[in-house]
Amino acid sequence: MDFKGSDPVPGPRTEDHLPQTAQAAVKIVIVGGFGVGKTTMVGSVSEIRPLTTEETMTQAGVGVDDDYGSDSKTATTVAMDFGRISITEKLVLYLFGTPGQERFWFLWNGLFEGALGAVVLVDTRRLEVSFDVMGRLEERGVPFVVAVNSFPDAPRHPVEELRAALDLAPEIPLVECDVRRRAASRDVLMTLMRFLHSLAMTDALT
């Protein structure tokens, strides 16, 4: 399996309809630079067959798109990835993966609309591509957590060093994960939900 955005190995999926017990639906966006694993994360954790808008990469993108990893990556998301996961019997998350290529970032505004929070996926080999992504979330006031995707050939750094390199505020959660694994992707989403809950509790006390 291609680690960088190929279709994940199909796994068991629940029925497409929502559970009858569902009472709340929350929109979450998964953002990051080109090839950090957004499509893979949506596919690994979604309980329905994910909707993807991947197109084959062509020579037209040479000199325009980020070509990091292009020797192994043959497709790129041009609009969004979409999936769904039930966190509890009552809470359902709708997942929207954003395109990583900068020329498609104009689509982000629509995808951010109504989002309660975001996951920023990071590749330690290219930390610099994360700054614009986090800046856009901060401008729109979308709370986020940062998940470091553990690519096999990526350098490993202590969490505190990564936090300093990314210039993250102390309260923003930073976790490591392997988005190919359903459990790991779900843990990232649970970290985001706990963070959003803590922010809501803080707001209620002020």
- pTM score of the predicted model: 0.78
Per-residue burial over 38-53, b if 16 or more Cβ lie within 10 Å, else e, is bbbbbbbbbbeebebb
Q: What is the pLDDT of residues 166-196, one digit of tens each?
A: 999 999 999 999 999 999 999 999 999 999 9
Q: Could you count the other beta carbons within 10 Å of the beta carbon of residue 125?
A: 14
How does strand 54-56 pair with strand 75-77?
Answer: antiparallel
- Domains of the chain, CATH where assigned: 24-205 (3.40.50.300)
Looking at residue 69, what is its pLDDT? 53
Q: Torsion over CA of 76, 131, 28 and 125, rounded to 10 degrees?
A: 50
Residue 151 pLDDT > 50: yes
Mean pLDDT score across all residues of the chain: 80
Q: What is the pLDDT of residues 75-125, one digit of tens each?
A: 554 458 899 999 888 889 999 998 856 655 556 666 788 999 999 999 999
Query: What whole-number distance in Å separates Cα of residue 81 and Cα of residue 78?
Result: 9
More confident position, 50 or 60: 50
